[in-house]
């Protein structure tokens, strides 16, 4: 049976803070706008990571895409090479840090910041997992 084969993926967050969201990701994470108008912004990082922002209630969109993101029920993860360095930068930039940097036994060092629209960004460095979690990886 044939399946759908994705070639890229990106979240789109519906927000009233379109410009603030664009500025946040371009200034703090090095994203660039590849499409921008008054109701949608599409950003891409130097490594090809994509994210989009859409204004609520836009008439071109179906009703189920009209409600602004509430800030709950989603995590946007960004993997970095050095979580400690990224955390230092987040502190210097006075980002809204929601979780201080910490190491997890399943193989992550991470911290969480929140963007202007309420998106929780889990900034992650992959680390060696404890023995208990090693068999969970393939």
- Inter-residue contact 121 to 105 (CB < 8 Å): no
DSSP at 83? H
Return all residues near 10 (Cβ < 8 A) that are at least 6 apart. Answer: 42, 49, 50, 51, 52
Q: Which CATH number belongs to the domain containing residue 14 in this structure?
A: 3.30.720.120
Q: What is the pTM of this model?
A: 0.92
* Residue-wise pLDDT tens digits, 52-110: 999 999 999 999 999 999 999 999 999 999 999 999 999 999 999 999 999 999 999 99
101 within some domain: yes
| Same domain? 49 vs 94 | no
* Residue-wise pLDDT tens digits, 21-46: 999 999 999 999 999 999 999 999 99
| Same domain? 79 vs 138 | yes
Counting the structural domains of the chain, the total is 2
């Amino acid at each position: 049976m044939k399946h759908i084969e994705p070639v890229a993926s990106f979240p789109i967050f519906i927000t009233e803070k379109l410009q603030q969201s664009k500025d946040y990701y371009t200034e703090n994470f090095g994203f660039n706008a590849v499409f921008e108008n008054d109701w949608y912004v599409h950003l891409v990082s130097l490594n090809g990571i994509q994210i989009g922002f859409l204004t609520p209630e836009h008439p071109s969109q179906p009703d189920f895409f009209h409600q602004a993101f509430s800030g709950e029920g989603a995590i946007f993860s960004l993997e970095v090479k050095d979580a400690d360095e990224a955390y230092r930068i987040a502190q210097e930039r006075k980002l809204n840090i929601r979780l201080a940097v910490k190491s997890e036994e399943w193989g992550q060092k991470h911290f969480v910041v929140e963007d202007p629209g309420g998106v929780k960004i889990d900034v992650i460095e992959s680390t060696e997992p404890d023995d208990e979690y090693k068999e969970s990886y393939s």
